Structure 1
Amino acid sequence: MGALDGRVALITGAGRGIGREHALLFAREGASVVVNDLGGGNDGSGADDGPASSVVAEIRALGGSAVGNTSSVTSWAGAAELVEQAVTEFGRLDVVVNNAGILRDAFVAGITEQQWDDVIAVHLKGHAAVLHHAAAYWKSASKAGSPVAASVVNTASASGVTLPNAGQLNYGAAKAGIAAMTLVAAAELERYGVRVNAIAPIARTRLTLATPGMGAIFAAPVAEGEFDAFSPANISPLVAYLASEKCTLTGKVFAVQGGAISELAGWHDVKVIETDGPWEIDDIAARLP
């Protein structure tokens, strides 16, 4: 028996890297998988159905069930088509893993409007679009009396929630937004039988290899037989657990890297100053750290 037997999962950005590992593990654990990948470059340019088709072929060769999809998650209509395909092909939808992403790194003073828009569109809007259409499907099913035990796993990043990275204004902002979106969606969708969590992974992918100052770290060779702490395969077991019916967690954000998983918490008070009357600027200056 697999941990995901009978589940139908939709995974975006599943043609390469972490998303590919998700798709392969989900299939091995018994899920039917919609493998979504536009097949674009690191910066989101271009399109190629090869990555999605290749993963589908791998899953089928292992005896699993999968279909490919090349819809762009930056389009509300494309996200709708993705959800509709899952239901049409497999009769239902139980899991959404929002994983698709690109990089258009730039420093604040030099970033262009297009660089900002492209990254926000793929990451933040892409998460929201798929989440919206899946949520509408599950809400409708719940109100019709059909039992729903669904799961959403979003993909944030250390760049947005724990370790701001210079040169990633757009990426960090989008990833921080995804973490916040996760908490809001978890609060809204629990009544319909939907759990929503997020991960902030660190792994070797074409995006991390292209990140300034980080490529050399991730590209460091691993001796044969040694544990590869940066393998993207290390990320997927947590995602599979969060997607399983036995998991009860919702509204959580987890950092995951190699052999470590940690639950993250958001903004919180570290020092409070108060006044009984109107604030004076000099008083604030004297009392803030």
Structure 2
Amino acid sequence: MLKKIKLSKYLSYLFLIVVSAIWVIPVLFGIVTSFRSQTEVVNEGFRLLPVNWIVENYVAILENTSSAPILQWLWNSVFIATLHTLLVVVVISITGYGYSRMKFKGRDFLFFTLLGISFFPNVVNLIPSYKIIDILGWVNTPWAMIVPGLAGMGNIFLVRQFMKGIPMELDESARVDGASDFTIYSKIILPLIRPVLIVCALFSFTGSWNDFLWPVIVYTDVDKMPVTAGLLLLQDIYGNYRMIGQLMGSAILAIIPTLLLFFFAQKYFVSAINLNSGIKG
């Protein structure tokens, strides 16, 4: 029995190592390539480490502020993703409170109907979504990425399920003392659901930062693009084996903010991912 347990444990470790390698090796190769010269990229082929480590690729990237303003793109993405995340936390916490703590006719029917609709592929909504953005005059503005997706049903589902683990007796006791719904939400529920809000904030920030198709559609002004749309533009500027090192360097700069986010927030993510960590009656 112990041998079977050890064998399954070793197999689990082996599986995790293989999966990790599949994810990590391309990133490491991109980092190494960003420190190669263009001549080495073309002539040396695949090498584990560069013959000569150079930083000229990053210098050229940062100095190009006209056709490829990478720092401006990074700032645009930081602004969009941060504001989007803050608004998401506000919207989903209030919506989750309504679906889990408030009682009104058709509450569950409405929730599960919207949840079912959310399973449709996002590509189905591209044309009507763009039409709405165009009518509002939000094309080439940050609002084109900030507002859509604020009420994502996936996040609302997580918050609702977490709130259901909080005893209703807390609400009833507060109402006896004369507390309103807003007081119960802000003073009692909101502090208790902070773990799941952190998880949703992480999902929302990374989702907004990594979104590719939508910003490519709604942005045509180079200076207003987020970094993902800018990377597509860089394929025309640095691609076709002309400046592969600079293209890889730009991609590495684009992933640094999300790596730092997970590095500093990983303990919150791990501790909060369990939806059963709410208060039980």
Same fold (TM over 0.5): no
What range is the shorter-chain TM-score in? under 0.3
The alignment's TM-score, normalised by the length of structure 1, stands at: 0.27
| Greater radius of gyration (CA) | 2
Structure (1 or 2) with the greater helix fraction:
2
The alignment's TM-score, normalised by the length of structure 2, stands at: 0.27
Q: Greater relative contact order: 1 or 2 (C-alpha under 8 angstroms, separation 6 or more)? A: 2
